[in-house]
Structure 1
Amino acid sequence: MQSLLSHIHLLWELVITSEPIVIMASSPAHCSSMVLALTRIIHPLQYCGDYRPYFTIHDKEFKQFTSTIKRAPPVILGVTNPFFAKTLHHWPHTIRLNDDTGSVQRCKLKKTVPAKIIDYNPGIYTLYKPFLQKDKNIIKNLRMGVSSNRPYEAQSALLKRHLVELTHSFMIPLERYIASLMPLQKNISPFKAAPKPLPFDPERFFMTLESVGPQLTLSNTGIKGDWVGLYKKFFRSPNFKNWFNTRYTELTLKLQALQLEALSKADLKDWLQGRPEVEVIDMVLTMKNKISKCDQHDIPVSEDVKKHLSQRLNDIICALPDDLRNILNVS
């Protein structure tokens, strides 16, 4: 990515918001390596848009991706065929790389839509206006490394560290906010279904940025800009949807685990007194189902909790009349 160092923050924004990008190069190896590099610049956040390191006219999605009827999908394409300059003219962001000759000529930013391309000069063709300012210090440092022939490994380490820090700083406020969606532990009852996490409210999240915003978590001078605008765009991307669904599922399973821990410590013999048979049967079936899910590692609980749950289940079964035990097919 040496020829694109001046625009690394622009590329980071395009990738983290899952914008459609076309990489045009002279060789499959060149475009493929660039596509894969772009999917990794938001690490440790997983890139969840589609990406094709080497896309050709023979791919089955050719008609879908070249159709001008619909908006370009969240895909990063790597192509070499000049024909794509016309068929993908409606895509909003095109990166033309230098010929694969070892040249490290710096790619320029062309403030124009790909449809207006009139030359084949290397560059980034886009009308995208970044939400954030560049970190000029890291760009200067990397350029000095180029001029002083700093080893590629050292250059890569510097760039990776900066991008990881940038992604972490962007995600930390979200991680803190989603952790706050956990209900209080005192609201977890062993005899009721586990509560669900509170819903995600973007406006409430934005209110937290003043005290824990990304600009406060960056260890360097900080990157200024319209962080709220970037988050709003991020919320519409596959990257956010995957991250949120994963975290929300983790919270849900954690709440189920806490409810099972409470149930494993509860006095079910006392709870049984005066309970209608339908409630007792429902409790037995529910506990058997949850113990099964624990065994399948769907719910993260310790072996001690599983053991105590089995004991509580046995307490209930032993207290059942024989005919009811036969109906439940337990002995």
Structure 2
Amino acid sequence: PVKILTSLMTLPLLLPWDRFSSWLHCICVVGFDLELGQAVEKTSICYLSFPDSNSGCLGDTQFCFRFRQAAGSKSSLGCFLDHFDRDAPVCLKRDQGYYYGYVYFRQVRDKTLKRGYFQKSLVLISKLPYVTFFHSLLKLIAPEYFEKQEPFLEAACNDIDRWPTPCPGKILTLPIMGVVMKVTRFFFPFLCKIDSLVSIVLPTVHEVDLFRCFHPVFFHIQMLWELVLLSEALVVMAPSPAESSDTVLALVSCISPLRYCSDFRPYFTIHDSEFKEYTTRTQAPPSVILGVTNPFFAKTLQHWPHIIRIGDMKQAGEMAKQMKVKKLKNLKTLDSKPGVYTAYKPFLNKDEDIIKQLQKGVQQKRPSAAQNAILRRYFLELTQSFIIPLERYVASLMPLQKSISPWKSPPQLRPFNQEEFMKTLEKAGPQLTSRLKGDWIGLYRQFLRSPNFDGWFRNRRKEMMQKLEALHLEALCEEDLQLRIQKHTEVETVDLVLKLKEKLVSTALILWAIKKEFSQK
């Protein structure tokens, strides 16, 4: 193991395009062909890269989409991203089975073209969920690309290939076409120092403006938090892909630091490969959040239990009107009034304080960034109040350190017992950190049946198992073999040596696999 570790420290330099691949999977240019429609090799990407015809997006529009990774395919430089994932917060971890597409779409009048319009999209495909970062990057390179075409794009790609790989805790200098972004913290907030070389400041790499996204329906933000927490099937119907994708991303992020473990599609079209799967009426709607703009979905998804209708997003300085939850039967077209259409009854009592605080901010013309910070903090505290009792109970499933013996296999974690957990809520429930009243027990019972709990518990269990293995290895390494030989039988001593050998071999194999992946590059 020592030799392998030493050799790993002297690995060869990265090959050309390896650094590019740690940020982006590829870049797509999607143009409109009068005979073929959107033209690009990847059919699903081509339809997702253009707004629906009814959206009427003139000028420049930015949005994002998300699609499944093909079975059996591998993303580039997985070893680098695996290392990053271990240290990154939940919100910055890559999606294992999905790609993100970040789109810069331009539609302008052009009489020289048969269609009368210039229509083209520049799309960045990446595993990384850095929506703000990649949208900012596109703002720099897309307009120039539309003017200067492929030579400019090639130069931009070469710049990206000189970037350091994403690395938490390090200062990253990212030059791109004469502009330098200096990243001093790779965790949020994503800060850029301004000096003589730096001309871009990004407050975050991944966060959307929650207040702007929820402004049309912010009287129902607490209910929306519950629906997302419970992985309920949700549809966002919006007039444009930009509003659709921002709202879906806002919904997913409102339960942070808890990871949303179900599928979500910021922009979904009738051409998606999952269209039939997600719109069938022969079974209950899947646990997914869809963002749509095509009026066809108003009828196709009318059987879904929860539908959010977003009108044109108002400026943060305008007051939203009080809206009641609407009945699903009243939703017939995308022209229906904005609101939340559902029969869902929240488990928790409505928090009027946050509504009043945000309304007061609108009246006093509080900056949008401040409103966003208030709302994000509210969601964070609400989620933490909910998850802390679970964290406390799961921690109690860990065996005591004194029970870890080098002469025995690592002890097992105790199984999660739902009723046992429920009993802990009486004295150590969310009431310790949250003022909200309501049926917390019912909310927990529903959550324990959701994909979000399953994903969260799998991750916590994996972390605790790794901790147990590390403690057991530590106990093995600290064991005085000479002393043990004197106190134990030969069989017990041999068993200890075999356990130690097994641990060292498994560690060596892991390191060897990493080295092999590097050498293949």
TM-score (norm 2): 0.53
Q: Which has the higher helix share?
A: 1
Q: Equivalent residues in 2 for 1:182-197 (5 A)?
A: 182-197=398-413
Residue 321 of structure 2 is aligned with which of 97, 106, 110?
Answer: 106
1:181-230 Cα deviation digits (max 9, x unpaired): 11122221111100011110111111111111112112xxx000101110
1:42 aligns with 2:258: no
1:125 aligned counterpart, secondary structure: strand
User: SS at the partner of 2:312?
Assistant: coil
Q: Equivalent of 1:17, from 204, 226, 230?
A: 230
Q: Provide the residue aligned with 2:26 in structure 1.
A: none
> Which deviates more from structure 2 when the two are superposed, residues 81-90 or residues 284-293?
284-293
In the TM superposition, what whole-angstrom CA distance separates every residue of 1:69-126 from its partner, at most 9, and x where no partner exists? 111111110001111011111110001111356576437233423x552461111000
Distance in 2, Cα, partners of 1:72 & 1:198: 34
Larger strand proportion of the pair = 2
Q: What is residue 117 of structure 1 aligned with on the other side?
A: 331
Gap change, CA 1:107 and 1:93, over 3 Å in 2: farther
User: Residues 299 and 332 of structure 2 are in contact (CA less than 8 Å); yes or no, is this contact kept in structure 1?
Assistant: no
| Structure 2: distance between partners of 1:55 and 1:239 | 22
- 5+ residue gaps, structure 2, are 1-213, 512-521
Amino acid at match of 1:82: P
Given that residues 109 and 125 in structure 1 are in contact (C-alpha distance below 8 angstroms), is that contact kept between their aligned partners in structure 2? Answer: no
What residue in structure 2 maps to residue 263 of structure 1? 476
Is it true that 1:211 corresponds to 2:424 in the alignment?
no
Deviates more, 1:287-296 or 1:189-198: 287-296
1:30 paired residue number: 243
> Which residue is 2:266 aligned to?
53
Alpha-carbon distance change, 142 to 297 in structure 1, aligned in 2, over 3 angstroms: farther
2:365 equivalent among 149, 169, 173: 149
Q: 1:250-289 counterparts in 2 under 5 A?
A: 250-272=463-485, 274-276=489-491, 280=494, 283-289=496-502
Question: What is the CA-CA distance between 1:275 and the residue it aligns to?
Answer: 2.3
Name the CA distance, whole Å, in 1 between partners of 2:509 and 2:247. Answer: 40
Q: CA offset at residue 255 of structure 1? A: 1.6
The residue type paired with residue 405 of structure 2 is: S
Q: Write the distance in 1 (CA, Å) between the matches of 2:472 and 2:339.
A: 56
**What SS does the corresponding residue of 2:422 show, helix, strand or coil?**
helix
1:159 lines up with 2:375 in the alignment: yes
Residues 180 and 88 of structure 1, relative CA distance in 2, 3 Å threshold: same
Work out which of the residue numbers 61, 76, 95 in structure 1 matches 2:289: 76
Q: In the alignment, residue 462 of structure 2 is paired with which amino acid?
A: T
Equivalent in the alignment of 1:243: 456
Say how many residue pairs are matched: 292
> Which secondary structure state, in structure 2, belongs to the residue aligned with residue 110 of structure 1?
coil
Larger Rg over CA atoms: 1
2:313 corresponds to 1:97: no
Q: Describe the shift of the 1:197–1:50 C-alpha distance in structure 2 as closer, same or farther (beyond 3 A).
A: same
Greater mean alpha carbon deviation, residues 236-245 or residues 51-60: 236-245
Is the contact between residue 215 and residue 314 of structure 2 (CA under 8 Å) also seen in structure 1? no
Deviation at 1:54? 0.6
Task: Find the aligned partners of 1:199 and 1:165 in 2 and give their Cα distance.
Answer: 28
- Does 1 or 2 have the higher relative contact order (CA < 8 Å, sep 6+)? 1
Asked whether the equivalents of residues 107 and 122 of structure 1 are also in contact (C-alpha less than 8 Å), the reply is no
Matches within 5 A, 1:313-328: none
Greater shift in the superposed pair: 198-207 or 180-189: 180-189
**Residue type of the alignment partner of 1:34:** T
- Deviation (angstroms), 1:292: 4.1
Q: For residues 240 and 56 of structure 1, what CA distance do their matches in structure 2 show?
A: 29
- How far apart, in 1, do the equivalents of 2:303 and 2:255 lie? 25
**Cα distance 1:101–1:203, how it changes in 2: closer, same or farther (>3 A)?**
closer
Q: Secondary structure at the match of 2:264?
A: strand
- Do the aligned partners of 1:3 and 1:104 also contact (CA within 8 Å) in 2? no
Give the conservation status (yes or no) of the 8 Å contact 2:263–2:288: yes
Q: 3-state SS of the aligned residue for 1:261?
A: helix
Q: Are positions 1:200 and 2:421 aligned together?
A: no
Cα offset for 1:270?
Answer: 4.5
Whole-Å separation in 2 of the counterparts to 1:21 and 1:116: 17
Identity %: 53
| Runs (5+) with no aligned partner, structure 1 | 299-331
CA contact (8 A) 1:50 1:75 kept: yes
Equivalent-residue separation in structure 2 for 1:190 and 1:136 (angstroms): 56
**Contact 1:3–1:107 (8 Å) recurs in 2:** no
